[in-house]
Amino acid sequence: MPMKLIRHRGNNHATHTAIGPFGRQEFIWGPFNDPAGNDLVEVPDWLLENGKFREALRKGVYSIEVDSSVAAEQLQFQSDFHQKRQAAADAAVISTIDTSTNRDMIAIPCIGPGARAGVACGINLIVAAKAKDDTVPLCDTHAHLRNHLVQVPTERNDPITGKEIMTWRKVTVAQATSNPDDIHQSS
């Protein structure tokens, strides 16, 4: 579809709405000599056949740009201006991101008993990654079990931190014995 470059000559923003081959379309111009270059808009040729738009052209509200080098330069300026504005917006957003280390939050499942025997509760608990081993991972429903669990080593190391992986086990009470060889472990 052939296009024309139209410059807005007014001091305020301008909008022109017209019905074209693809339905209702709206064209928006910035004020004359807009710093962002929005006073120059590429419009389809059919808009020049619109009576209200032709009347605005005759009154000098808009003008048709005929110097293609100036128009191309202006369109390039618009593109560059938009890219700079986008880069500034990106930099503003990035500057608000907290890049401190060890501030990650993770979800760990509740280890309390589930609805079926042998199945853990599994409700996700959101905790700081650096504090994931500090407390027993129990949801509010199972929080009363906190004093019945102890942390024990698994003899495996975390591949990232190199620390020994710990797990939580339920404390059991066994009959007292005087012979150390009679002590047995239960899990």
As given in the structure block, the two tokens for residue 27 are 């064209």
Residue labelled with tokens 């066994």: 174
**pTM above threshold 0.85:** no
Of residues 13 and 100, the one with the higher pLDDT is 13
Following DSSP, what letter does each residue of 114-134 receive, concatenated? -SSTT-B---EEEEEGGGTTT
| DSSP 3-state of 99 | coil
Residues 138 and 146 sit within 8 Å (Cβ to Cβ): yes
- What pLDDT, in 10s, does the model give residues 54-104? 999 999 899 888 766 766 777 788 778 888 888 999 888 888 877 777 678
Triad 77, 81, 82: Cα angle to 5°: 120
Chain centroid to CA 121: 31
Q: What is the pLDDT of residue 144?
A: 92
Residues 126/107, Cβ–Cβ less than 8 Å: yes
Cβ-Cβ contacts under 8 Å for 3 (sequence gap 6 or more): 42, 43, 44, 45
pLDDT at 170: 84
pLDDT of residue 177: 65
**H helical segments located in 31-67:** 51-58
Residue-wise pLDDT tens digits, 124-174: 999 988 888 888 999 999 999 988 888 888 888 888 778 888 888 888 777
